Amino acid sequence: MLKILQIIILLQGVFLIVALMANKEKYQKPTFWLLIGSIASIIFYIIGDDDNGFFEEKVDWFFFDSSLFITFLLLFVMYFVSQREIFKPRHLLFFLPNLLYFIIELYEKYDAAEDIMLVEIIELLVELSFLSYLLFTIWAILKSDRKKWMAFFIFPLALLMGLSLANEILGWFNIGQIPYFSNPENNAFTLIIIAFLFYFMAWKLVVAPAEIVPFVKIKKYRTSGLKEDLVESYTKKITAFMEEEKGFMDSKLSLSSLADRLQIPKQYISEILNTHMNTNFQDFVNGYRVEAFLERMGDANYSNFSLLGMANEVGFSSKSNFYATFKKHKGVTPTEYRKSLK
């Protein structure tokens, strides 16, 4: 059964890589290559897994393990959600736990003293870092409006890895281990999850390719002088103005007044919002207003306020604009939302 699963996953991986490479010019480069890395690392894992290698079992190809897939997957989701078109070299630091894990495995393979407690503790901390990668990946997916279906596949992987770590800790203290996780052949369950993920991605690739890897955007700002370092700096200034100074509460806030206040060219603010944050000025500001309104709904100090009274306080200038915006963001009217809380 395990061999059949391995063959299915290998064929899926090869199909996805071929399908993606055939149209690679259409996709944003960082996200594209991180997805290719995720798929390739799974293929390597299937081929070289210590306990259930595809060609030969019980062969320690310690570089081909699931941790490489976890790191690639984290970065893929980060870049997909942020829609960044340029890879940041500092994100290579996410591979440091992989390098450390490789060194530990190399040490244990060629050094007879592989049960040194310090080495075991370092290995556990490295594995915990991979677990945190998975949990952060789930959080990033759920926080975003994109790819929530992936969380249903990643969550079981995080759960399995957490239970596996707990099993190791129990073994250290001779408390008694979890039988399921003491049997290497139970990797089959993890392989089934990966197989389903690949199946779904393969289907999405055929019917809706942009949901797997975002397409390169047609450059609206061809003559823009906005550089990547300025994008990051201006983005921080814009979000700080909204989150710390509560600039959205000004009902007369406009693109021009925001540009004057922050001393950022108006066209740069539009470019950052449209191209790098996938929104427009009005939706960006109203998103903060809706969240501030929801905070007031749950605050006892505002229990005597009407819906419109709270809306006016957070920056909405009219009832019609408030109701239309709220329904756009939450899918229901403010009145319907309040009733659902009772």
Give the 3-state secondary structure of residue 27: strand
Does 97 have pLDDT greater than 50?
yes
Residue 150 contacts residue 77 (beta carbons within 8 Å): yes
Q: Which residues contact 247 (CB under 8 A, 6 or more apart)?
A: 241, 253, 258, 261
In the block, which residue shows the tokens 């075991």? 120
- What are 243-246's contacts with CB under 8 Å, separation 24+? 243/288, 246/292
Q: How many alpha carbons lie under 13 Å from residue 196 in its C-beta half-sphere?
A: 13
- pLDDT higher for 171 or 287? 287
Q: How many CB atoms lie within 10 A of CB 267?
A: 15
For the chain, give the percent of residues with pLDDT over 70.
73
Rounded-to-integer distance, Cα 339 and Cα 342, Å: 5
Residue 187 contacts residue 136 (beta carbons within 8 Å): no
Rounded-to-integer distance, Cα 220 and Cα 234, Å: 19
| 27 φ, ψ (degrees, to nearest 5) | -100, 155
Rounded-to-integer distance, Cα 301 and Cα 100, Å: 52
172-189 tens-digit pLDDT: 667 776 776 666 666 666
Rounded-to-integer distance, Cα 147 and Cα 266, Å: 32
Q: Kindly report which listed range (29-33, 237-241, 311-315) carries the lowest average pLDDT score.
A: 29-33
Residue 82 contacts residue 232 (beta carbons within 8 Å): no
Q: How many alpha carbons lie under 13 Å from residue 57 in its C-beta half-sphere?
A: 8
Range 110-126 average pLDDT: 71
Give the 3-state secondary structure of residue 254: coil
Task: Please give the class, per CATH, of domain 228-341.
Answer: mainly alpha
241-260 tens-digit pLDDT: 999 999 999 999 999 999 99
- Residue 89 in tokens: 């070299």
The whole-model pTM stands at: 0.58
- Residue 28 in tokens: 């944003």
Please name every residue paired with 215 in a beta bridge, in sequence order, or none if there are none: 27
Rounded-to-integer distance, Cα 100 and Cα 81, Å: 28
Question: According to the model, what pLDDT value does residue 62 have?
Answer: 46
